[in-house]
Amino acid sequence: MPPPLPQCPSVADAMPDAARRWWADQSRVESSAWLISFLVHGTALFIMGLITFGVDSGGASISLLAQMGKDEPTPNAVDRQPLVVEPDVEEGVRSKELRSDAPPLDVPLEAPQVVLPSESPSEKKDTQPVASGPRTKPSKKPTDKPRVVATPTGGGWEGRDPNARAALAGKHGGNKQSELTVERGLRWLAAHQRQDGSWSFDLTKPPCGGLCRNSGTEASATAATGIALLPFLGAGYTHKQGEHQRVVKRGLYSLGARAVVTPHGIDLRGGGTMYAQALAAIALCEAYGMTRDEALKEIAQGALRFIVYAQDLEGGGWRYTPGEPGDITVTGWQLMALRSGQLAKLEVPSPTIGLIEKFLDGVQTDGGARYRYQVQRKPEQTTTAVGLLCRMYLGWGRDRPALYQGVTFLHNWGPSESNIYYDYYATQVLHFWEGPEWQTWNRRMRDHLIATQSQTSHESGSWHFADPYGDRGGRLYTTAMALMILEVYYRHMPLYEQRAVNEPF
């Protein structure tokens, strides 16, 4: 276990002059906005005699998103083992019923600049509930013997170009409804950004104030902010361009304000766990990679350095705290952060990647076709989806028999109606695999999310499914994950496509 970290300065104090000026400018903007808001609303409240003061209590220590259970055969069962998280959100009473006075969000009926090809007859009105599909095998046959292949090309961010997004959505399985659904969801997220630029899983507090049901119980504002930023970036909205430019800029500023410089890199956990570190690092790396804004380079690279430092050097994975023996869910998020850093042309050490291979070898079963949460557990659907996506990013190609078998498992299991964590990873695996298996999966997954997006009052544009992951992360977590699933057509370019960016680890 690495030694405890010393007290260190904030990230802005250790940045180059240009980057420090950027963060300072954002601080002044946020402070001015807060002061104006305070004066206006404070005066009104004073006149009405309604001024009240409250103090946040420490949040309970609760597992974030994906603590897998022991030996469960389905992706819906989890082990609710507590984590240490930051105490910046008090645990309020959940809103059980939709308040009748809740104002609807102002969400336009049409998304801007979304033009897609006409749907084929087979694509129209297919909104049946998700159900198990036919148990067929993928169409792409593996070779008799596995061979070592180079890390696949692709997986880049070129599809996030606003001029390319609509065409790619139409090409890879999206439609007009899915793009409108994405825009509605982004507007819901934007409306739930807090005054300081962050987000919270707890919707009982402002700006929502309990107008939406299914508030989360996870207390990490850093994790909430990281995961909320990802759908904006996935749709091509950055702090430099697009309708949500200010939303993204304020969110990035909020992450920077929580960052701490350490001898081992930039710690973005904010009192939480490595889940929060990874989510924040992905957002920062993507924002830097998409804009080449030098003000973000140091913090993004520093976040990756801390991830490298926190790896378990014996087993090769990550868990909640630096050096702890890993589990596949936390490890999967760290790999996604390292991949984002690599795509942003930041430094990612090769030995770190090699250790991830070692970890995956230790938790695999069926020759690498299925995966366990940890070595002592049994394979599950969710962990299998995470493991297969990791293997794809680390070089397994279509001619790998274990990958072929793993895709067969996912295809036969089909999408889940409620476990969006499983759906998120499995959708990416099937998307990268392509073929008729992807087309079948996509129609069911896409239309299920379109049909289940809330159209009611303040919840309009959001999702929530009754499931242990969704209950802890709440409506904010579920909405962010659902949006990233619907952005799969352009969020990452096809992994094996020849025209995609060639950037191996």
Does residue 57 register a pLDDT over 90?
A: no
Q: Has residue 82 got a pLDDT over 50?
A: no
- What average pLDDT does this structure show over 135-150? 40
Distance in angstroms (rounded) separating the CA atoms of residues 88 and 176: 39
Query: Residues 103-123: pLDDT tens digits?
Result: 444 444 343 343 333 333 333
Global pTM value: 0.74
Residue 368 DSSP class: G
Q: Which helix (H) or strand (E) holds 262?
A: strand 260-262
**pLDDT value of position 494:** 76
Of 346, 298, 385, 334, nearest in space to 503 by CA: 346
Residue 482, judged by CB atoms within 10 A of its CB (0-12, 13-18, 19+), counts as buried
Does residue 173 surpass a pLDDT of 50? yes
**Residue scoring higher pLDDT (80 or 231):** 231
CA dihedral 89, 95, 100, 101 (to 10 degrees): -10
pLDDT computed for residue 389 by the predictor: 98
49: left (phi over 0), alpha (psi -120 to 50) or beta: left
Segment holding 343, helix H or strand E: helix 328-343
Q: Which of 2-6, 19-23, 426-430 has the lowest mean pLDDT?
A: 2-6
What percentage of the chain carries pLDDT values higher than 90?
Answer: 61
pLDDT value at 76 more than 70? no
Tokens 């994975």 locate to 317
For 152-191, the three-class secondary structure string (H helix, E strand, C coil) is CCCCCCHHHCHHHHHHHHHHHCCCHHHHHHHHHHHHHHHH
Give yes or no for residue 379 having a pLDDT over 50: yes
Domains of the chain: 11-34+139-491 (1.50.10.20)
With beta carbons less than 8 A apart as the criterion, state whether 482 and 463 touch: yes
The pLDDT of residue 383 is: 98
Burial (CB < 10 A; 0-12, 13-18, 19+), residue 182, is: buried
Which CA distances in Å does 439 have to 382, 411, 435, 495? 21, 11, 7, 16
Look up tokens 């220590």; give the residue.
Answer: 61
**Cα 398 from Cα 286, distance rounded (Å):** 27
Residue 472 has pLDDT above 70, yes or no: yes
Res 155: pLDDT: 58
Closest listed residue to residue 404, CA positions, set 373, 422, 374, 429: 429
Q: What is the pLDDT of residue 146?
A: 33
pLDDT in tens, 317-361: 999 999 999 999 999 999 999 999 999 999 999 999 999 999 999
- Look at 52-56, 182-186, 227-231, 300-304 and tell me which has the smallest mean pLDDT: 52-56
Task: Say what the pLDDT of residue 397 is.
Answer: 92
Pairing mode of beta strands 370-371, 364-365 = antiparallel
CA atoms within 13 A on the CB side of 470: 25
Residue with tokens 């909104």: 127
Q: Which segments of 67-163 are extended strands (E)? A: none
Query: What would the two tokens of residue 111 be?
Result: 């998304």
Which pLDDT value is given to residue 17?
55
